[in-house]
Amino acid sequence: MTNEEIERRAQRAEELFHQGYNCAQSVVAACADIYGVDESLALRMAASFGGGMGRMRLTCGAASGMFILAGLEKGSDKPHDNEGKMANYAMVQQLAGDFKAQYGSLVCAELLGLAPRPEEPKPAERTPQYYEKRPCSEMVAQAVRIYLRRKCNIS
């Protein structure tokens, strides 16, 4: 995969986010075709991870999107495949380290400067002000870059 292809997918993730999809959905859908996953299925599969998992402001949705992709890349479908689990967990830990090195945290509440408590399940209205005050758009693009560069061993 070329840097141009990575950048195209990063931009696609930003576009999806600005269409109203959550962070995890934006990251996963931008790369789902690599694994033969239908975009609609990818969007549903990642839906619960927005807002730091169900709007609880826990693990960042952009990071969770990378972890879902890591499962598609290295996840095992055998219950006692310890080598497969280890390869997947290693990839998740590397991705988490890359993301945390860039942003200082994996926690949605910390990244957004919000209280780390469960909130009502109603999603915030997507207005121009919403997009202006949140770093999420840039984070979904960067999560795609981090994931694909790690997957393809590109520095």
What pLDDT does 118 receive?
Answer: 63
Average pLDDT rounded to a whole number, residues 31-50: 97
Average pLDDT rounded to a whole number, residues 28-45: 97
State the virtual CA torsion across 75, 79, 81, 82 in degrees, nearest 10.
Answer: 90
pTM of full prediction above 0.85 = yes
Amino acid at residue number 147: Y
What pLDDT does 122 receive?
Answer: 82
Average pLDDT rounded to a whole number, residues 33-58: 95
Q: Considering only CA atoms, which of 40, 31, 102, 111 is closest in space to residue 67?
A: 31
For residue 17, give both structure tokens: 């986010």
Greatest CA span in the chain, whole angstroms? 48
What pLDDT does 119 receive?
Answer: 65
What pLDDT does 147 receive?
Answer: 98
Instruction: Tell me the pLDDT tens digit for each residue of 59-111.
Output: 999 999 999 999 999 999 999 999 999 999 999 999 999 999 999 999 999 99
What residue has token string 């840097």?
Answer: 3
What pLDDT does 11 receive?
Answer: 98
What residue has token string 């005050």?
Answer: 133
Instruction: Tell me the pLDDT tens digit for each residue of 121-151.
Output: 888 888 888 888 889 999 999 999 999 999 9
Evaluate if residue 117 carries a pLDDT over 70: no
